């Protein structure tokens, strides 16, 4: 399972005030942080958790290449058809990480042929857990300076009869009227398994303009055999009526089902919004000061910072410009 995030003690400070608007900031201060602070930090409004922002912070430590786990020896249950995460998170994203099956000291290949991927923020992701992932495994990390670290875990594979987990990949989630977009529904299944896939969406239109393919089966043969079942939904010359929730559902031959959905927004015109966090920022000479601005737009805008007619560049002297989605 993906790790849950913990609540943090924060300091709320009023940044500015006028007769109609009150702006507040929430600050989380960490002095002299160590590698244990590596992770994702999220700030959101208490009354609306969907309105917020998040950032992932790496605290690099040459002697601690892996971010902390809840125990030095990991025992993880791996369930069939349920995406699994092996928590080999690193404190520096430039670190090279390998997954080793210690039974034969064999490296697990990462890629489409094994349905295994790696994200330095999450660890190894098993899209098609199977009996191969049963036993002792080791994550081996090597830093760019040649330092090494390892993490041992024991995986226990448990066969179950739940439905496969589908996933959606959308070419875009915000489109202009008249544009085209495509969504692919994709799931990993046992070789030759009878699994059905169908779509549902608000307009229910199926025509030359709005159409989806019958489920296609892609055969993969490598370390172990599995099939990839997928269907592509295409909308040409989008209309406002195409806006809404698009859901893909998979159904097994014995009636078990699973689904996944995404929201497509259809807009009439390009737009951009840029709001500074505060119109006045006070700093202390010789200390760091941060200027923040929130922006949104379609298509994705290019944002630049300027000071007295000169554009500020990332990592230019004492200036660091970062962008967080």
| Residue 31: per-residue pLDDT | 80
- Strand pairing class (225-235; 216-221): antiparallel
- Tens digits of per-residue pLDDT, 34-60? 999 999 988 877 776 666 778 899 999
- Tens digits of per-residue pLDDT, 246-259? 999 999 988 899 99
| Residue 219: per-residue pLDDT | 86
| Residue 17: per-residue pLDDT | 45
Can you tell me the mean pLDDT for 233-238? 96
User: Could you give the CA distance from residue 70 to residue 20 in angstroms, rounded to a whole number?
Assistant: 47
**Chain region(s) in the chain for CATH 2.60.40.10:** 74-158, 167-267
- Tens digits of per-residue pLDDT, 140-197? 999 999 999 999 999 999 987 788 999 999 999 999 999 999 999 999 999 989 999 9
Sign of dihedral through CA atoms 245, 53, 170, 178?
Answer: positive
Question: Tell me, which fold does domain 167-267 have in CATH?
Answer: Immunoglobulin-like (2.60.40)
Q: How many CA atoms lie within 13 A of 296 on its CB side?
A: 3
To the nearest 10°, the Cα dihedral for 109, 114, 119, 123?
A: -80
The pair of structure tokens assigned to 46 is: 């208490």
Is a pLDDT exceeding 70 seen at residue 25? no
Distances (CA, A) of 57 to 40, 93, 207: 6, 10, 46
> What global pTM score does this model have?
0.73
CATH annotation of 74-158: 2.60.40.10
Is a pLDDT exceeding 60 seen at residue 316? no
């Amino acid at each position: 399972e993906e790790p849950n995030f913990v609540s943090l003690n924060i300091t709320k400070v009023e940044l500015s005030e006028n007769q109609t608007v009150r702006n507040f900031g929430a600050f989380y201060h960490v002095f002299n942080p160590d590698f244990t602070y590596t992770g994702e930090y999220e700030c959101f409004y208490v009354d609306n958790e969907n309105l917020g922002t998040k950032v992932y912070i790496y605290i690099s430590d040459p002697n601690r290449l892996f971010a902390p786990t809840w125990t030095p020896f990991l025992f993880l249950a791996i369930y069939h058809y349920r995406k699994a995460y092996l928590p080999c998170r690193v404190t520096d994203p430039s670190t090279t990480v390998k997954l080793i099956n210690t039974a034969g000291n064999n490296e697990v290949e990462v890629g489409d042929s094994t349905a295994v991927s790696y994200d330095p923020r999450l660890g190894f992701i098993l899209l098609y857990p199977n009996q191969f992932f049963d036993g002792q495994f080791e994550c081996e990390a090597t830093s760019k300076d040649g330092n090494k670290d390892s993490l041992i875990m024991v995986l226990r594979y448990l066969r179950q009869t739940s439905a496969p987990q589908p996933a959606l990949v959308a070419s875009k989630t915000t489109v202009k009227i008249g544009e085209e977009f495509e969504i692919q529904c994709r799931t990993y299944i046992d070789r030759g398994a009878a699994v059905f896939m169908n779509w549902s969406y608000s307009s229910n239109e199926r025509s030359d303009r709005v159409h989806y393919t019958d489920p296609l089966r892609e055969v993969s043969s490598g370390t172990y055999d599995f099939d990839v079942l997928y269907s592509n939904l295409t909308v040409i010359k989008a209309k406002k009526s195409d806006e809404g929730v698009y859901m893909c559902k998979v159904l097994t031959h014995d009636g078990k089902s699973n689904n996944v959905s995404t929201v497509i927004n259809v807009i009439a015109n390009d737009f951009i919004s840029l709001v500074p966090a505060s119109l006045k920022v006070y700093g202390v000479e010789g200390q760091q000061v941060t200027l923040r601005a929130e922006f949104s737009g379609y298509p994705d805008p290019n944002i630049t910072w300027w000071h007295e007619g000169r554009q500020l560049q990332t990592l230019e002297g004492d200036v660091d410009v970062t962008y967080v989605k």
